[in-house]
Amino acid sequence: MNKKRVYIAGCGGMLGDAMYKHWNTTAEVLATDINVCEPWLQYCDVRDFHQTAKLVDSFKPDVIMNLAALTDLEQCEHEPENAWLTNALGAENLGLIAARHDVPYLYISTAGIFGGDAEIYTDFDRPEPRSVYARSKFYGEEFALRSVPRHFVLRAGWMMGGGPAKDKKFINKIYQQIKAGAGVLNVVDDKAGTPTYTVDFARNSERVIQSGLYGLYNQVCGGSGTRFEVACEFVKNLDLEDRVEIRSVDSSFFAQTYFAHRPSSERLVNTKLHARNLNGMRDWRVCLQEYCAVFAADFEGDRRQGDAKAAHGQAL
């Protein structure tokens, strides 16, 4: 039996790491990115329709997945054209190619497309994007729903995954402060959302695609919390509560650094996944505990290296 052929664009980041590792076990995967940071990656810029189409045409995939995105909110505000070309035109390019090949198209969207006025958002709530990032991602979502017959749109929450090397989001930002010796962390308590473990996201994406039930789905871990609550859980899992103090602040504390609009609430619930018995996403606290093992090992390795340097110094 021939393996399924899966093309994954934008596979060089934290989600791409999990998606490649999951799909590569059962499928033949062609993974691309503009940042060729792994030996299993090839270069491709989704903003270039002809380059992307030529590569996809030669590979003849059974599934096309679009992970390519400019996700730094402040960068999107500074570089709106780049954000629209990557998040919107890139999504349109891949959607058109998927439609031309008549294969399923997986587009990764975000909880950030909501305005944040409601406490919780289901799959059916109307998005109100209020930043360049959110508007460009929402365009990609709408294009898939409108113009790609065989589409899966999966909305993720606060991503966590990839470890110290690839995690560009909240968890690793907290960890890098701890690793640098910070004894106090200032963390906002007025932003709420749903952490989403990349490992679970990758695994459940296969479940959804295999169902053949095309459409739009929220796909986040169970439960929700504030940034402050997530940071407290992270520090507790690392057994560093006696060494690291977490101070609660509001968003104005970081107003100059993080000036792009961020919804007060990005809490999603997997209404449709539940209804269709497709929800394999675990609670975020369970996932964070599992994920913390990567950071615990890195932290311990860093500590041992420091001890070895100190002992070497004493010997000299």
pLDDT in tens, 199-244: 999 999 999 999 999 999 999 999 999 999 999 999 999 999 999 9
Judge whether 297 lies within some domain. Answer: no
Domain membership flag for residue 259: no
20 occurs within a structural domain: yes
Per-residue pLDDT tens for 33-79?
999 999 999 999 999 999 999 999 999 999 999 999 999 999 999 99
Of the listed ranges 77-81, 154-158, 266-270, 306-310, the least confidently predicted one is 306-310
Does 250 map to a domain?
no
Nearest Cα residue to 59 out of 4, 10, 21, 120? 4
137 falls within a domain: yes
β-strand partners of 248? 187
Domain count, the chain: 1
Q: Decide: 110 and 137 in contact? Cβ < 8 Å.
A: yes
**Strands 225-226 vs 192-193: parallel, antiparallel or unpaired:** antiparallel
Pairing of strands 4-9, 63-66: parallel
CA separation for the pair 110, 76 (Å, rounded): 15
The answer to whether residues 83 and 136 touch, using CB atoms and an 8 Å cutoff, is: yes
Q: Among candidates 212, 71, 90, 75, which has minimal Cα distance to 143?
A: 90
Name the residue range of residue 146's domain.
4-171+194-225+266-288
Is 68 a domain residue? yes
Q: What are phi and psi of 224, to 5 degrees?
A: -155, 175
The answer as to whether 249 is a domain residue is no
Q: Give the pLDDT mean for 254-272.
A: 94
Tell me how far apart the alpha carbons of residues 62 and 66 are, in angstroms, rounded to a whole number.
Answer: 14
Q: Which CATH number goes with the domain that contains 89?
A: 3.40.50.720
Q: How many Å apart are CA 35 and CA 30, to the nearest integer?
A: 15
Q: Is the pLDDT of residue 301 over 60?
A: yes
In a domain, 179, yes or no: no
Residues 6+ apart with CB under 8 A from 282: 197, 200, 221, 222
Q: What's the rounded mean pLDDT across residues 260-270?
A: 96
- The pLDDT score that the predictor gives to residue 3 is 86
pLDDT band for 309, please (50, 70, 90 cuts): low
Question: What pLDDT score does 300 carry?
Answer: 81
